[in-house]
Structure 1
């Protein structure tokens, strides 16, 4: 706990942290209420998976453009604007649900708007962190975001979301709308942070190409992005219909489903409390390699078990892994990516690691569950992760050698992207405002 909350990071960080905490409450509630709303509207596994895909598709379509704009614009104002858009979209969904006018297609539309806004907000917020946090405290900052995410979003909000949905299906979405508005006001109190790239604009696609080229030439970050991109295809295929898996295979009610999801939070809390210490004592390479093995075992356990407690225990271990992995990789990226490329490299990384992969995996999972069974995606995910671990094992040796040689202010200095000794920046926190 002292490692996580030891030194003061700064008032600017505290406000960004508070904004993240508030929006994570609303998001966690909606994460449970959304699938429950879809299940109340349809029992078709493909249509339920479509709701997840509607939120993931914007990362596939707009991630690269969002990264370029995050490097061009005042990131603070960008976050405020898109959070207000998200608040309005959720307010519209709340009204539709309250009046009995909600349809599957309306849910898709609102979720898609939220996803488009998320590509801009998360990319810009991720680039804000290294701008307001000293380099020596980046790992602690990432761990604090992770701690807040798991305690609020996954632990407290999910059973709350299931309970609120039981009271009235409209309440969770209304609460999420309010939290986005509050988050926007908190971010508005931050001092203006101008665009990071002072150079003349060279054309949107030229700027996007710079981010793509830089990431692709960096062996370690390229390996991490591709490994987790393929891993997220497998994960999202398995979890696209998780609400049906919990109901039909584990025999859980809607409240039980909410509590099952909190098992991720239990692991996440443990992971956030130990991530900094583990990475510093064991080294990044050992942490990342162990994470790949945990993913293989996790999918196998869920494929074979029919007991909720066994599934919950596996999810706790997986939650520890995801938090430790996230903090470790976020800090690596913050220390390796040049300041002027924060947004673009971050968006390319997110597209490869989670955005496009998640969308593709969700579509595959819905199809597999419809054609075969709810456990088929878990078996395939385990096999996929075993293959990924074998290929990524050797390149991950570079992780423990990755140390910065410059500060963000020096980021215009030329560096070889294949060298592990590069400048600093850009995170992949669980959810920023």
Structure 2
């Protein structure tokens, strides 16, 4: 590209110099010739006046004085007399081409002034050489400017190519480079925006993979517990059948969780919220988690109002409850109580235990990603809050000691617009 820029600039400069230089040379040469002729004509006219004055004063012309006054001129003066009188002053007549101008008076005085044309041609050549030198200098300046401009254009383009190549290789860092050229700066700005979007997409993909692995862990844990129950009760057909059916339910729930995660990744969960029977989801979760709580000599209780319905997705709401129960199992102590109440604008589901609660330094950021006070992944509560918000509700820490989390869901008869809350109310 740099070579093409140099070539095109040089061609344009040569054409411009020719279009300006050739007419300028012709005009300058004609001006020099015309100026020389005009000068000779003026000298001839002036000489006629001097001869007339000398004739009136009856003083002879001094050839030496005329030669000093008109150097390099061949002067011929003719006076009307009987016989005619001629005077020749100055250098010898030029042997080659000459330029001559005449003048005469009414009293019969005729003057011719001549000069060698070679001197005029030398002056023309000198001026033409000056024009050629200026043209060459102009071409040199044009080439220099073309080199500078080509570097100013090609280096940013090479830099933009490297940035685009880096984007293609997965490095989505914005370069923030600007070059002082509006068009190239526009391209750089577009690439920076593309890099930001790609970075956001990659971040969301990584978060989705992390969230999926975390969300799938809970139903897999429940499925594992059911399979362990089956193995332990292999000599009791009725229990094996019951636990097998429960394992099937867990597998179906695992499939539902995967669907929920994919829907959340595509931002489709708002449209899927529908009336959900709160009791069914809570009983199903308590049934799943009761064996592991019982194994740790702990108790699960369900209290509060029955028969409530809220706008949610079964998988999303169930996953939120599962996360809270798992947190109570790992970080809490004593009896875990799930309480449901009907408020004016929300249905509230509270999960509380009898443990030491949440430390003061952790409580303000307990819902932040990668924040954990007990060696966990720091993702459970973050994802649970996101799932609740996707259903148009919210998840809050309402009491630190003992730890009490509350899920606020819209009633099933609420036809108002979805209000997503991602921070504390």
Q: Which of the five TM-score ranges fits, normalised by the shorter chain?
A: under 0.3
TM-score normalised by structure 2 residue count: 0.19
Relative contact order: is structure 1 or structure 2 higher (C-alpha 8 Å, sep ≥ 6)?
Answer: 1
TM-score normalised by structure 1 residue count: 0.19
Q: Greater helix percent: which structure?
A: 1
Q: Greater strand percent: which structure?
A: 2
Max radius of gyration: which structure? 2
